[in-house]
Amino acid sequence: MSTYFTKEHEWVKVKEGIGAVGISEHAAHELGDVTFVELPKMDKIVKQFEVLGSIESVKAASDIYAPISGKVVKVNEALNNTPEIVNESAEDAGWMAWIEIADESELKNLMTSEQYEEFLKTL
Amino acid sequence: MEQLRSTPLCSRHEALKALMAPFGGWNMPIQYEGIIAEHKWCREQAALFDICHMGEFLYQGDFAAGGLEDVFTFSVKSIPIGRSRYGFLLNEQGGIIDDLIVFRLAEDKAMVVVNAATSDNDFMVIKSRLRGGEFTDISADTGKLDIQGPRSRDVMIAAFGDGIAQLPYFKFTTMEILGSEAIVSRTGYTGELGYEIFLPAAKAGELWDLLLNDGRVKPAGLGARDVLRLEVGYSLYGSDIDEATTPLEADLEGFVNFEKDFVGKDALLRQKQQGVMRKKIAFEVIGRRSPRHHYEICLAGEAVGNVTSGVFAPMLGCGIGLGYVKPEAAVIGAPLTVLHDRISMEATVCQLPFYRGGSLRS
């Protein structure tokens, strides 16, 4: 299963038409200790690169943008009480939502893992 | 752009891979392991802070005759030898030039401890108000380390013997540390049992190493320090108090002695009579969002003020903050909305401190 990344440091992993999304390890590290996650509402319809939710850390508050268009079908409730999971495992246990993908061809607008690694070097 | 100053411990912070950032003109460690982890260690064990950037001045001479007695909002003469006092240096309008602590070292000797960012200006202002005595800036030669946390007394005893075992809160003692004269004060900025250690800057590194050698001690940076101080309701100069703010507006009138003369007294008396136009409040957020500097505060749909400091408080599991509002909104229990862009949170005006469980008076 491939992971794709946005310029705003969100990731999406696709499986059977569902995209699990979250923020990258890099973003989590830059943010510092995460203290609050605003998860999207269930059934929310999002467009690629539109605001999906938000995240706060000791340092800053940041919007999270949807890496792919679709409908929110699941959210990671654990992050409501234990947002620090994002720091521990941003690209795995720290997933934020599952999106039922509207158009899988939108993945071409994103970076692959290798491209994201290269992108990080330019920052 | 002016060069950032570095404390004697800079290379140690870099070796520990601390995240460094400018603060008050100094290159300071913001965090090592992480702000939340360091905050927790301070509340449970003993955290060590590099506070060498703060300023220290020495006054030698008669306090009254030399004019030092009229400089601050408190009397220096009436501080018992061996104790210290917190208060303000004000301008003619009653605005706070700095908040500071004065240590009564001897009958005619006092040490003034000031914030890093305002240190140079503080020295100039105080010197200009003196008519006698010797007044020197000893900041460059003075190092300061804070050790704070419920284990800090045991750590200090293990390192330096029983001398400080009975030291009461806000008292200090002079003792020999690493072959040099040091001042150990039972004060701090965290709400925990702890000590501020003043010693020659040249010995700061050795003291840092010595204390970190104790398994109960871990380094903590300015990020954790900010969460710790706000949880116990302490103001931060530059954020919650500044030269455009009076002690009355800042709800810190308790540190102003109207029985004596001080620069800014007339302005404060006038303000006392007329009433303040804004008042500092403490508020607790319903939920985990953090209020931040400049966020807007609203009451019943009307903008009434702004946030000056805010964090997520790990001890409470919610956001907390300080801010200034119209006096009518400064009522315990008032339901506020704190806003910024798309962010919105509900909060309630409350009393200080936010967190009461610290080991400060242990």
Whether residue B149 has pLDDT greater than 90: yes
Taking a C-beta distance cutoff of 8 angstroms, is the pair A62, A35 a contact?
A: no
Query: What is the distance between the alpha carbons of residues B222 and B35, in angstroms, rounded to a whole number?
Result: 9
Taking a C-beta distance cutoff of 8 angstroms, is the pair B290, A36 a contact?
A: yes
CATH architecture classification, B277-350: Beta Barrel (2.40)
Q: Which B residues 205-264 touch A at CB under 8 Å? A: 223, 227
Query: What is the distance between the alpha carbons of residues B91 and B254, in angstroms, rounded to a whole number?
Result: 18
Q: What is the mean pLDDT of the segment spanning B184-200?
A: 97
Q: pLDDT tens digits for B279-312?
A: 999 999 999 999 999 999 999 999 999 999 999 9
pLDDT score of B3: 85
Q: How far is A61 from chain B (nearest CA, A)?
A: 8
| Helix locations, B113-238, DSSP H | 119-129, 152-160, 204-212, 222-231
Query: What is the distance between the alpha carbons of residues A100 and A45, in angstroms, rounded to a whole number?
Result: 9
Taking a C-beta distance cutoff of 8 angstroms, is the pair B288, A35 a contact?
A: yes
Whether residue B151 has pLDDT greater than 80: yes
Q: How far is B30 from chain A (nearest CA, A)?
A: 11
Whether residue B180 has pLDDT greater than 90: yes
Taking a C-beta distance cutoff of 8 angstroms, is the pair B347, B321 a contact?
A: yes
Q: Name every residue in A having a CB less than 8 A away from some CB of B.
A: 32-33, 35-36, 51, 54, 56, 58-59, 61, 63, 83-84, 87
Contacts of B31 in chain A (CB under 8 A): 32
Q: What is the mean pLDDT of the segment spanning B159-175?
A: 95
B233 — pLDDT class (breaks 50, 70, 90): very high
Q: Over pLDDT 70: what percentage of chain B?
A: 99
Contacts of B34 in chain A (CB under 8 A): 32-33, 87
Q: What is the mean pLDDT of the segment spanning B5-30?
A: 96
Q: pLDDT tens digits for B42-101?
A: 999 999 999 999 999 999 999 999 999 999 999 999 999 999 999 999 999 999 999 999
Whether residue B145 has pLDDT greater than 90: yes
Contacts of A36 in chain B (CB under 8 A): 287-290, 312
Q: What is the mean pLDDT of the segment spanning B98-125?
A: 98
Whether residue B2 has pLDDT greater than 90: no
Q: Which B residues 70-99 touch A at CB under 8 Å? A: none
pLDDT score of A1: 73
Q: What is the ipTM of this complex?
A: 0.90
Query: What is the distance between the alpha carbons of residues B18 and B12, in angstroms, rounded to a whole number?
Result: 9
B361 touching A, CB under 8 A? Answer: no
Query: What is the distance between the alpha carbons of residues A67 and A95, in angstroms, rounded to a whole number?
Result: 13
Q: How far is A118 from chain B (nearest CA, A)?
A: 23
pLDDT score of B144: 98
Query: What is the distance between the alpha carbons of residues B217 and B144, in angstroms, rounded to a whole number?
Result: 16
A49 token code pair: 């690169």
Q: Using the beta-carbon criterion (under 8 Å), do B312 and A84 form an inter-chain contact?
A: no
Q: Which residue does chain A place closest to B226, by CA atoms?
A: A58
B36 touching A, CB under 8 A? Answer: yes
Query: What is the distance between the alpha carbons of residues B195 and B189, in angstroms, rounded to a whole number?
Result: 10
Average pLDDT by stretches of 10, chain A with 123 residues: 94 96 97 97 98 95 97 98 97 98 96 97 94
CATH class of A3-103: mainly beta
Specify burial of residue B296 (Cβ count, 10 A radius: 0-12, 13-18, 19+).
middle
Specify burial of residue A5 (Cβ count, 10 A radius: 0-12, 13-18, 19+).
buried
Buried b (16+ CB within 10 A) or exposed e, B316-332: eebbbbbbbbbeebbee
Q: Using the beta-carbon criterion (under 8 Å), do A56 and B31 form an inter-chain contact?
A: no
Q: Using the beta-carbon criterion (under 8 Å), do A32 and B227 form an inter-chain contact?
A: no
- Please name the residues in contact with B300: beta carbons below 8 A apart, sequence gap of 6 or more: none
Q: Global pTM?
A: 0.95
Q: Which residue does chain A place closest to B31, by CA atoms?
A: A32
Q: Using the beta-carbon criterion (under 8 Å), do A36 and B289 form an inter-chain contact?
A: yes
Closest Cβ–Cβ partner in A32, A33, A61 for B343: A61
B8 — pLDDT class (breaks 50, 70, 90): very high
Whether residue B1 has pLDDT greater than 80: no
Specify burial of residue B120 (Cβ count, 10 A radius: 0-12, 13-18, 19+).
middle
Taking a C-beta distance cutoff of 8 angstroms, is the pair B335, B354 a contact?
A: no
Buried b (16+ CB within 10 A) or exposed e, A6-26: beebbbbbbeeeebbbbbbbb
Q: Chains A, B: CB contacts under 8 A, how many?
A: 41
Q: Using the beta-carbon criterion (under 8 Å), do B312 and A32 form an inter-chain contact?
A: no
B276 backbone dihedrals φ, ψ, rounded to 5°: -85, 155
Q: How far is B20 from chain A (nearest CA, A)?
A: 13
Q: pLDDT tens digits for A91-123?
A: 999 999 999 999 999 999 999 999 999 999 999
B32 touching A, CB under 8 A? Answer: no
